[in-house]
Amino acid sequence: MPTFDITRPRDIIPLSVDRKGSIPFTVTNLTPNLIKARLEVVPLAPADRGIFTIEGGAERNMQHGEALNIRVLVAAPEGIPSGSHKFWLKVADVDSPDDRYGESQSVEFVIPDSKPPSPPLSFKWWLIPVGLLLLIVAGGAFWYLSTHPKLEDYTKMSVDDAKLSLRQSGLDFKIQPNTTEVNTSDNDKIVAQQVDGKPAEAGHRVKSGTAVTLEVAEASPVIADFRGKKVDDAEFDLKSKGMKVTVVTTRIVLPAEQDQLVVEQTINGMPTPTGLRVKRGTEITLETQAAMPRLVGHTLSEAKSQLSSKGFPEPQVITNNTNPDASTWDKVFQQEPDPGPPPKPGNGTVQLWVNVKPDPVPGGMPNMVTKEYCQALRELSAAGLSAREDLMNFSATGPPVNGVNPNAIVRHQEPPPTTPILKGASGVVLTHSGGPIRCMRRFESDRIFATTRRGR
C-alpha cells in the first residue's frame, strides 16, 4: 500500500536573475495513522545538494489524509554552473523510513548565466554642488514669482474687472473715492492705483496679500432736502454719502408726530439749497425738535436715556428719601417741564424728582408708650416718621396729671420699640384711651398740649 502521494509542478521552472526560486509540492498522508514525516531533497547532481532549503523545516506531523503544501527554496551560488538541473522530493515515515516512504517524479529548473559586474561609472562629483546651487536659485525664483504677483494697469479696467483680477492674483484691494472733479465724465472709473500711499505702476511686483488702493472717480453726491423728515433717516443717508453730521435740538414741541423731525439743515450756518452737490467729508448740521417725554414712573437711568436720545441736556436730579415703599425707589415721581404744553426754547434745565431708599431710623422704632400723644407725634416727626391714633374702648378718669390729660397717654404702639424701620414710614399706630385728640401749639410756649375732643 502506498504511504504518500506527492504532486509536483510539471513545467520547467526558471530561476530569477539572482539565481533564486521557489518550487511547490503537495504531500498527502495515505496511511490510516498519524505519522511523523521527514522531507528530503534528492538532487540529480550531488554538487547541487547545498542549494536547497525546505521552507518550514524538514519534519512534519501529518494526520490521516492530511495534505501539506511544501515549498522547496532554491538559491544557487556563483559556483554552481548555469543550465538545467533536476531533483526529486522524498518523504518518509520517521519510525519506518525503509517501509513507509514516497518519492516524487523529478523536477527540472534552469539556473541563468552569471553576469559579470558592471564596471564602476566615472562620476563627476563637482556636479553635485552645481546642481544644488541651480536648484536653490530655481526654487528661490519660483517662490518669489509665486508670492509676488505682477500688478496690472487697472485704470484700463472696470471696477468689477479690477477687483476680480486682484483676487485671482492673491491681492487685496481698497476702493477710495476721488471727488476732485465734480460731475466728471470719468464717474465710476479707476483714475489711479496706489500701494502704501505711493503710485503703483503696471508690471511692478508686490507681496501676496498686499492691498492695492483703487481711486475711483466719483461725482460729489447731491444733498436732499430733509426738512420735515425723521432725523435718524437723514443722518443715515448723509453718513452713507460720506458726510459728517452734527445733530442739534433747537426747540421743544408738543405734538408727538413732530418729534425728532428736521426743521433746518445748514453748512457753516447757511441753509443748504435743494439739489446742492457737496464734497464728501463736509460737515452738515441738522436742527431738530424734540417732544418732552413722559418720565414719571421710569427709572432714573431710563429717563436720562430718553432725554439724551432726544437731544436734551443732562437733567437736574432732586432726590427724596422719605418714601419707604421699595417699589418707588430709583424712580421718577415728578418732572419739570411736564409732557404737556411745551416751554419756550431756552426755558431752563429739565428737573427730575426721584425717590431713593430712605435711611434707617437709628436704634429702630422709638418707644412712645407712657408718653403724651402729642409729644409722641413730635418725637416721631423729628425721627422722620408719622403716625395715626387708635382709640381704646375705655376712658381714663381723674384730673390732669402735670397738666396732661390721662386720656392722652400712649398705652400701646405698633410696631414695637426697637423694631427696624426706615425714615418716612407712615404705618406707625399709637393707641390711647381718650377720644380723638387735636394737638395745638400755644404761642407762649413751644410745648405741645393736648385737648380732648369727645366725638358725638
Highest-scoring range by mean pLDDT, 140-144, 169-173, 385-389: 169-173
pLDDT surpasses 60 at 449: no
Instruction: Kindly state whether residues 228 and 164 are assigned to the same domain.
Output: no
* Domain-ending residue, one of 196, 217, 238: 217
- How confident is residue 119, by pLDDT bands cut at 50, 70 and 90? low
The answer to whether the beta carbons of residues 349 and 389 sit under 8 Å apart is no
> What is the secondary structure of 190-222 as a DSSP string?
EEEEEETTEE--TT-B--TTPEEEEEEE-PPPE
pLDDT surpasses 90 at 329: no
Domain that holds residue 332: 300-355
Cα gap 69→22, rounded to integer Å: 12
381-411 tens-digit pLDDT:
888 887 877 766 555 555 655 566 677 788 8
* Sign of the alpha-carbon torsion through 251, 252, 254, 259: positive
pLDDT surpasses 70 at 444: no
Instruction: Kindly state whether residues 55 and 86 are assigned to the same domain.
Output: yes
Q: Report the 10 Å Cβ neighbour count for 205.
A: 12
Cα gap 387→380, rounded to integer Å: 8
For the residues 336-347, what does the mean pLDDT come to?
Answer: 58
Is 323 within a domain?
yes
pLDDT of residue 450: 41
pLDDT surpasses 80 at 439: no
Instruction: Kindly state whether residues 78 and 170 are assigned to the same domain.
Output: no
Residue 381 has phi, psi (to 5 degrees) of -65, -40
pLDDT of residue 353: 85
Chain-wide mean pLDDT for the chain? Answer: 80
CATH at 428? 3.30.10
Instruction: Kindly state whether residues 168 and 75 are assigned to the same domain.
Output: no
Amino acid at residue number 74: V
- How confident is residue 252, by pLDDT bands cut at 50, 70 and 90? low
Q: How far, CA to CA in Å, does 206 sit from each of 63, 149, 170, 175, 341?
A: 82, 6, 10, 18, 67
Residue 48 has phi, psi (to 5 degrees) of -85, 0
Q: What is the DSSP letter of 109?
A: E
Is 122 within a domain?
no
Q: How far, CA to CA in Å, does 439 sit from each of 334, 389, 405, 445?
A: 32, 12, 12, 13
CATH at 161? 3.30.10.20
The answer to whether the beta carbons of residues 168 and 207 sit under 8 Å apart is no
For the residues 413-437, what does the mean pLDDT come to?
Answer: 77
Task: Give kind and range of the element (H or E) at residue 166.
Answer: helix 159-168
More confident residue, 262 or 52: 52
pLDDT of residue 445: 34
Instruction: Kindly state whether residues 383 and 334 are assigned to the same domain.
Output: no
CATH at 56? 2.60.40.10
Cα gap 29→91, rounded to integer Å: 10
Instruction: Kindly state whether residues 150 and 204 are assigned to the same domain.
Output: yes
- How confident is residue 87, by pLDDT bands cut at 50, 70 and 90? very high
- How confident is residue 328, by pLDDT bands cut at 50, 70 and 90? confident
For the residues 43-48, what does the mean pLDDT come to?
Answer: 91
pLDDT surpasses 50 at 241: yes
Instruction: Kindly state whether residues 287 and 308 are assigned to the same domain.
Output: no
Instruction: Kindly state whether residues 29 and 105 are assigned to the same domain.
Output: yes
Q: Report the 10 Å Cβ neighbour count for 310.
A: 18
For the residues 340-346, what does the mean pLDDT come to?
Answer: 49
| 377: its cell numbers | 407725634
For the residues 200-223, what does the mean pLDDT come to?
Answer: 82
The answer to whether the beta carbons of residues 393 and 456 sit under 8 Å apart is no
Cα gap 271→259, rounded to integer Å: 21
Q: Report the 10 Å Cβ neighbour count for 451.
A: 12
pLDDT of residue 209: 87
Q: Tally the domains of the chain.
A: 5
Instruction: Kindly state whether residues 52 and 145 are assigned to the same domain.
Output: no
- How confident is residue 360, by pLDDT bands cut at 50, 70 and 90? confident
Cα gap 243→299, rounded to integer Å: 36
Q: What is the DSSP letter of 399?
A: S
